[in-house]
Amino acid sequence: MTTLEVGLIVAAFSVAMAGILAYLVRQSAHMQDMRDEITVLKTQVSPLWAQVQSRIALDLHHPHPRYFEMDTLLEKLESLTITPDERERLDLLLHQRSTDMSPDISEIQRTEAKAMTQVMRIVVLEAKGLMGALFAWFVGLAHHWR
């Protein structure tokens, strides 16, 4: 192999490596743009569901002592200190409230209890990723209108 051939091989290899490097830099910039767009979407969606959850929790607070457990769990939900086990218990209590025909429970509270179970699912799935939240929202709508 002559010096010229070695030089041509090194030059071709260098051009190929430069091309690959340029492609990777371009892809990295594109990925960063996508990350920025997802961050913007998350900041737009998250406050909405947090606000909905907070509003429903406020409406579901009830002064009667038999609802003390639910009130405590709703407060934990609002302060974002609720554990998964407590969330399951709250879901059960919300289901009970949605079917409770006691005179001190209004139809609006029954409907809000049903809605809260769906909103809680959306918030959990949203925390796992934006697409999960959107899917949960559709599932929630389908479940709510059954």
| 33-80 pLDDT, tens digit each | 777 776 655 544 466 777 888 888 888 887 778 889 999 998 888 877
User: Tokens 């002592």 appear where?
Assistant: 65
| Best CA proximity match to 121, nearest among 47, 53, 38 | 53
CA 54, 48, 125 angle in degrees (round to 5)? 90
- Each residue of 81-115: pLDDT tens digit? 788 889 899 999 999 999 989 888 889 989 999 99
Task: Give phi and psi for 131, each to the nearest 5.
Answer: -65, -35
What's residue 146's pLDDT? 57
Using an 8 Å Cβ cutoff, are 113 and 60 in contact? yes
What's residue 121's pLDDT? 81
Residues in the chain: 146
Top mean pLDDT of 8-17, 41-50, 122-131 is at 8-17
The residue ranges of every structural domain in the chain are 40-144
User: Tokens 């070695």 appear where?
Assistant: 6
Q: State how far the alpha carbon of 124 is from the alpha carbons of 11, 39, 127, 135, in Å.
A: 54, 17, 5, 12
What's residue 43's pLDDT? 44
Using an 8 Å Cβ cutoff, are 60 and 112 in contact? yes
What's residue 79's pLDDT? 77
